[in-house]
Every structure is written in structure tokens, then in C-alpha cells.
Structure 1
């Protein structure tokens, strides 16, 4: 008998309030493979009444779940992590078919999704802090309590992981979750996770997945009176729209990026080129932490450019199902058009194209790697490209490189290369970003890291020991052990 589990099915429905059902909006989403065009699922979409249903059920289910002991809650996540790894091939195949992830990149996402699920089991224990006092015979305690119902809105580029890095800890901490995955990744961004938690024994109603168009359900999800936390990962423009609509809810927003990777004059160029190419083109550059700009000291600039172009030209494009493919399709025609428009604008603004190519593949969405030389103000450097495009920028010296790196409204991920670690540390501490990596790629997969940004890249931190801050509240309780005189 085979140990391979029966694949999950039924993705024309979504889990709402404890029952898998069709959405009630009257419109249907066609979920298709960006490389081949194959239709993967036809999903009747959710409307505002489905959002109401999900929130009401979540509120009721959360009250009992919050009273479940730590061991009982932890066991769900331990089982869920095991299920994800047992179904790793199935999930990786879905990532390849639904979002165009290459085989290796799909495997990485499944592994880190399982890791963040397992880590969530550690968030189930009750946390109590004792706070000092100068009042005689008095004791102060601060209890961490679940916030209640959490709304998670996730993107399509790393859909399974970016959904679950909020869903898993939020549930583990005693909350209920209503998840809205992106329209380009309804299965990998939500429905697969719901199947996993259902199999792992999560009580019904605690997790609903609302597959709907943002214009139809987005505002209702954010403005609804039941959720207490909105966790959003996506573009800065959408994030800015969420903030004023959410009212007094707690917000955790990871938004756009414009990752600078700085190469100082004493850098190991071979390693710097390797990491810059990886950071620029991994998953077709469709990552918020992608290396959008490579800023190189003038003394090593021309050698770096030659090496970078040579390595980028050697990248293999094509069918993401093939093991040799390193660059697959971008997610959609709309995304492709936006990338190409930015390249055209950059050339009009003075950028020089060193490497380019026309889109290929059955759907015409496989864009070859592009390399541009420009300043910090051409469109591909000034804006988040979210495609396989790298802009190389010449800096006069270290001070100029730091100025260029910080000359952006974004502040998510960044990197610096130098053989002198202390020099790198001094530089990193001056970079205006939520994350800076010394002698490593800007694209990071450490589930213990505190992902988050500065400036227009968001507020809050996702992951690590800080994750509990987003999904809990603090309850201060004082105990007066002996009566004390009260004086008016």
C-alpha cells in the first residue's frame, strides 16, 4: 500500500463558517496556469454576505478555542506541519501550476510553510509578565490574551507561506482567522491551508477562506466591526488604502520594497554577483524583498557589470516544471505589461539596456532576464518592478552608495557586501530598512527573522519572537495582598 496521501480536491468551493460552499456573489473566478494556460479551477466567488457569515462563525468559535489548553492547540500545529511535509510534492506541484514557481523554488516554499507551522506550536503557552511596583504588598501581572478575530489578506507571489506566517501564529495564540488569498492564487494561498488544518483537527469555524475580488469584498473585510486585527501583505498603494478604512483595529502591514544591494570597493565580487543575480531574478523577481537596485562602488563597477551580465545571460528560462528552469512565467498579462512599461520608461529616462529579450512560452509570459544601467531615478530603480529586471547603479564611494540606497520611499530589505564585517555592520546600521543582510542576498527565507519595513514599506513585524505582538492584547492585573490605607 502506498504512503502517498490522496490528493486534495474540491477547490470550486471555499470553507465558510465550518462548511465548504460556493461563494454567493454570482461571479466566477477562472484560476489558470500562467505558463500553459490550463484551467485549474472554476470558483464561484464570495460576496459581502459570505464575509458576514465567516466573521460571525469566527467570533463564536474563537471563544471556545481561546479556552483550549496550550497542549491541545499545539498538537494541531504539530499535526499540520507533518501533513504539509507528507504532501510536499502535491503542494509543490500546485505552486508550479498556479503561480509559475520553478520546482526548486516551490520546494523551498513548502518547506518554510511547514517550518512556520511547526514554530506556531511554540506560541500556544500562556505568557505572563511580572511588573515591578513601589506599592507595598502589591503585585502586578500582565497577561497576553488573544485579540479575537484576525483578518489575513495575502499576496500571490509566495502565497502559501505568506498566508500561513500570519494564519498559523494567529490561530496558535487563540484567535480565529478569516483569510482572503489573492485572486491569482486562491488554492495555494488559502484553500490548501484550509484542507491541511481541517485534516489536522482544527475546530470548525475557526478558519474561513474568502475567495473574492478585492473590489467586491475588500472594504467589507477591513471595515467590518468583528475583526480586531488586519494583517496585510501586498502593495504600498493598497496598504495605504487599508489604513484609514480599518478604524481602531490593530494593523500589521508588509508593503512594497525597492531593495538596494550595495557592493563596496573591497567586496568579494564573485559572491556579490552571485547574490545580486539570485536576488534580482529569483521567482522572476516577483518578491517584495527582491534586489531591485544594485549599487556598486565606482572602483569595481565595470568589472561587476561584466560579471553580472554574463551570469544573468546564462540563466535558463522556460517551463517551470522542468528541473533545469531558473526563470518561469510572470503571474499574468497585466503584470508583464507593467514590467515592460517600466523598462520603456527607463530607457526614455536615459537608462541603457545591456540584456533583454522578448517573452516566450505558450502564454507568452516567460520574460527573459533584463539588465539596465541607470541612475537612481529611472523608473526601474525608482519604483518596485516585481519582475526579472535589474538596474545597476554606479556610486562614487561608500558615502554616495549609502545616499543612493536610502534615496527611496521604501525601506524593506537591503544588503551590503564587504570583506570587512565591522565596516558592513556600520553601513548596515545607517540603511533605512527593516532588514539588512551583510554578504548575503536580500531575499531571505529564515522563518525566525522579523520581516517588516520602514517608511512606505509597512508597519509591524512578521515572524520571530515579535509575531505575538500583532495578534494579542495585554491585560494588566494587579493584586493587593494586604489592605493599605487610602488617603483622599
Structure 2
């Protein structure tokens, strides 16, 4: 994209400015190591400026007619549609997403923006009766004020917009800190979109910085009322604690360890296709990806044969090429971590059904069998093209294995008996699970979120509206109360 080199500054109070920290961030292409852009990082003073700007701009935004607010948010959709090819190029270059992944992500962004555009017309209140004669209770839905958003590197365009757009639609100001690996796709691109859409100056602010520079100030700053974080459970735990300590509501969308369960009556060929998509889309760098494939023992050998054949056919390489399915992981550190986990699993007794080589950031697929529930690869999130396949004999055994993890984000059950699938799905301790489908699902009007270590809160649809607003009670006494003294 020719214009991404223009998106190498912080966006604060409607201005594109250099950060004032004196430190720099080089944004690199994870596939070929080429330099995309260079940022001068934002400082704590820049962060304070951003929060102050958002706090002031939200009052101006609140004076805008709700129908005009909707029109502005719809203009953001129009901008994305008009620049879809350029945005696709950014996603490919900055995070190694394939063209398929880029189009998938852009579609999700458009859907969530369209949903957020309805929020200005859904700020409904209530009038409730009172036990006191002559008194009327009014409940007003109000914006929380300012929302701080911290987004990850894997789906940065969507996972930033998933909080930013609903927060704006509900009447709030926003300060966004994208991940250092994806400052454009997860940050300054979003600033550009809302600038072009016509939001008030200062309503949306984007800071490119890191923890070394600002510490916990992003969370602890007195202005934001809600901190929305998407990322690892370890970091999410810390952010949640800091938010609560400073009386801010944390919204946490964290890691996953999804189980993909294939019952004895499943359509095996379809299950192979769905399992492949559920694990290897965007190199497995999705919190909802299927980490553990549980297969009924009667289908286990045939599944392994077909699954290995299917996975072996996936092209690994340059994400710009149209037929590439698996591009690079985000960085070499991540690739090295995956190799460590694979080697540890083998040491613990796992067997590679398919062992992929690692070339820099290109991690070829690995399938591990002979895996027990206590192994690291069965307990931890595998954020890459590595998957485990485990046999089971009974539905109860499958449920027990699926639940033997700290995580509870997504999952899938495959069966020809829908009622059986739903009954089993009800027993899985997870926020989301899908019968005869993939583990990777996110729809704009359906509650999204996890249980256990996979997060706190729900986003999308009415749930995002609830998270980014508060209810204010104003009572009106039309007569005089009688007091006891």
C-alpha cells in the first residue's frame, strides 16, 4: 500500500504527531524482514494528552445528532470498502496474513462497524414506577466516558475495531494502543479511517508505544473508565488487577485452548476439513483456534490418515501469493517457542504424526499424537501451526479431556445427531462452542467471550452496548414526601 508510509505517526487530538519519548520502533515485515515504517514512540506525556483530548471530545460527540453519528460510522465502512485492496496489502505486509485471512478480517471489521453504527439510536432509557406516591424513576443509558483499548498482533485490525467502534457508537472517547508488532493495522490505520469518516477532533487517539516507555500508566490513568484488552492471559491478569485497583472496569478477551471433538457418528471428511481450517487459519495465531482435536477411537486411525494428507497439502510460504495458506508467524521468538513446545512434548512421550521444519518465521505444520492431558501441549495455548490429536472412547471421556484446562474460550463438536452434539456442548466449560462447525466464529450480534482464564465480559451486539455504557437513575418527585421526623 503506497499510503502506509504516511501512517507512521501518533494520532492525538486530531493531529498526526511524532512521539516525544526519544525512542523509536521499526515496523518490520515478518516474512522478509523488510522495514515498513519507523515510529518515534509516544511518552507518558503524550498518553496524558491523548486521554485529555478524548475526555474533551466526547462532550462534543454527545452534542451530535444520533442520526449524524450513525452516518459518520457508516462513512467509516464506506472508506474501508473504497480502500479494501490497500488495506489487504497492509495486513499481508505487516502481520504476514494471507490474502484469504486479510479478506476475512476486513469482512469482520465491516460487520462490527455496521453494528456499532446502530448504537447511537439504541441509547434507550426506561421509566419505572416507584412505591413512593407521586414519584417517577427515570433510567438513562449514558456513555462511560473514555475507553482505553489495547489490541494484539494476530487480528489487529478487527480486534482493535471490535472495541473502538462500539465504544464510539455508544458515545465515548477512545485511546487505542496497538501492539508494537502491528502499529499500523491495529492502530494508525484505524485513526485514518475515523479521521476520514469525520469524527470530532480528539475523539479517537492512537498511541504507538510500549510498556518500557509508559509502564502501567495506560491502565492507571485517572480518565478512562473502561480498559478493553485482547491478548495473552498472563498480561490480561496483570491489566485486570491494575484496572480494578483503580476502579476501572476491565474487559478481557484472553487466550484459548479449544477442543475440536469428533464423535463416532460424525461426517469424517467434513470434520477433517473443518479441523484443518480451525487449526491452521492464519498460522494458528487465533485465540479460538483448535489446539486439541479429540477423535472417537473408532475413527481415530482413519482421521489421522486423512488429516495428515490434508495438512501436508497446505502451502507454506509468501503470504502475498494467492495460494499460500500458511504464512509466517509474527516473529522468530514465537517460532522458537513453538519448537521448544514441540520438543518438550516429544520428550514427554508425544509422537509427531507430521513434523514440520522451521525456516525463520515460517513454521511448517506439526501434528502430535500420543498426547496425554497433563502435557504442556495439551494445557497451553499453541499459538502457531501445531496441533494435538487425541483418541477417546466415550462422550464422558471427551468432555473430561476438553475441560481439563484453565482455558474456556471456544470449541466444536461434530456429530450427525444435533441433539447429542448440543447436549455434549452444554457440558464443555467454554464461552462459545459450535456444533458441526469450526472453532473460529465471531458474529456482530452474538455474545463473544470466554470462561475461566479466557477472559471477563462479553462483546458484540447488545453486550458491547452494555459494556460501554452505564445506567443513570434520575428520580422526579411530583409531590411532597411525608417524613417521619
State the TM-score bracket (shorter-chain normalisation): over 0.9
* Aligned partner (choices 364, 367, 392) of residue 368 of structure 1: 364
Three-state SS of the structure 2 residue aligned to 1:344 is: helix
Answer whether contact 2:191 2:204 (CA < 8 A) is retained: yes
Whether 1:172 aligns to 2:157 is no
Residue 16 (structure 2) aligned to one of 15, 20, 32 = 20
| Counterpart check, 1:158 vs 2:193 | no
Choose 215-224 or 237-246, whichever is displaced more: 215-224
Shift of 1:230: 0.2
CA distance in 1, matches of 2:107, 2:346: 40
2:4–2:90 contact (8 Å) kept in structure 1 = no
1:223 equivalenced with 2:220 (yes/no): yes
Identify the residue that residue 38 of structure 1 maps to in structure 2. 34
For residues 413 and 75 of structure 2, the distance between their equivalents in structure 1, rounded to whole angstroms, comes to 40
C-alpha change, 1:406 and 1:130, in structure 2 (3 Å) is farther
Give the alignment partner of residue 195 of structure 2, picking from 186, 195, 198.
198
- Secondary structure at 1:336's aligned position in 2? helix
Structure 1: distance between partners of 2:352 and 2:131: 68
Instruction: Give a deviation string over 1:116-136, Cα, whole Å, max 9, x none.
Output: 112111001231123344444
2:279 aligned counterpart, secondary structure = helix
Query: 1:386 aligned to 359, 383, 388, which one?
Result: 383
SS at 1:429 equivalent = helix
Between the aligned partners of 2:460 and 2:215, the Cα distance in structure 1 is 24
CA-to-aligned-CA distance 1:256-303 (integer Å, 9 cap, x gap): 110111111111111111111111110000000000111112222222
Q: 2:138 aligns with which of 141, 144, 154?
A: 141
- SS of equivalent to 1:324: coil
Is the counterpart of residue 109 in structure 1 residue 109 in structure 2?
no
Moved more, 69-78 or 148-157: 69-78
Q: After superposition, what is the alpha-carbon deviation per residue over 1:303-357, rounded to whole angstroms, capped at 9, x for unaligned?
A: 2111111111111111100111000000101111111111111111111101122
How far 1:115 sits from its partner (Å)? 1.7
Q: Deviations over 1:198-220 (max 9, x none)?
A: 01111111111110112322401
Distance, in Å, in 2 between the alignment partners of 1:274 and 1:412 is 21
Contact 1:260 1:292 in 2 (8 A): yes
**Which of 439, 462, 465 is the equivalent residue of 2:436?**
439
Check whether the contact 2:8–2:188 (CA below 8 A) recurs between aligned residues.
Answer: no
1:467 matched to 2:430? The reply is no
Residue 257 of structure 2 corresponds to which residue in structure 1?
A: 258
| Native 8 Å contact 2:267 2:414 kept in 1 | yes
- Counterpart Cα distance in 2 of 1:218 and 1:189: 20
1:50 CA drift (Å): 0.8
CA distance in 2, matches of 1:251, 1:52: 20
2:238 aligned with 1:241: yes
CA RMSD of aligned residues (A): 1.5
C-alpha separation between the residues in 2 aligned to 1:477 and 1:419? 54
Q: Distance in 2 between matches of 1:379 and 1:131?
A: 53
Matched, 1:10 2:6: yes
Distance, in Å, in 2 between the alignment partners of 1:112 and 1:281 is 18
Higher mean C-alpha deviation, range 17-26 or range 35-44: 17-26
Distance 2:74 2:19 in 1: 31
User: Hey, what does 2:305 align to over in structure 1?
Assistant: 306
Distance 2:302 2:135 in 1: 68
Give, in whole Å, the separation in 2 of the partners of 1:394 and 1:132.
58
Residues 11, 43 of structure 1: 8 Å contact kept: no
| 8 Å CA contact 2:178, 2:207 repeated in 1 | yes
Contact 2:5 2:36 in 1 (8 A): no
Match of 2:208 in 1: 211
Distance in 1 separating the partners of 2:414 and 2:22: 53
Q: Contact (CA 8 Å) 1:243, 1:251: kept in 2 or not?
A: yes
Cα distance, 1:241 vs structure 2: 0.6
Aligned equivalents of 1:478 and 1:163: distance in 2?
38
1:484 offset after TM fit, Å? 4.8
Aligned length: 481
Structure 1 residues 41-75: Cα deviation after superposition (integer angstroms, max 9, x where no partner): 01111111111111111111112212322112111
- State the SS of the aligned residue for 2:358: coil
Deviates more, 1:422-431 or 1:148-157: 422-431
Residue in 1 that maps onto 2:404: 407
CA distance in 1, matches of 2:33, 2:119: 41
Match of residue 324 from structure 2: 325
Match of residue 95 from structure 1: 91
8 Å Cα contact 1:153-1:182 kept in structure 2: yes
* More displaced stretch, 130-139 vs 167-176: 130-139
Question: C-alpha displacement at 1:17, in angstroms?
Answer: 2.3
Structure 2 unmatched ranges of 5 or more:
none
Deviations 1:119-159 (A, max 9, x none): 11100123112334444443322111000110000001000
Structure-1 separation of matches of 2:77 and 2:201 = 19
- Report the CA distance between 1:481 and its aligned residue: 3.6
State the shift of 1:228 in Å.
0.6
**Is the partner of 2:31 in helix, strand or coil?**
coil
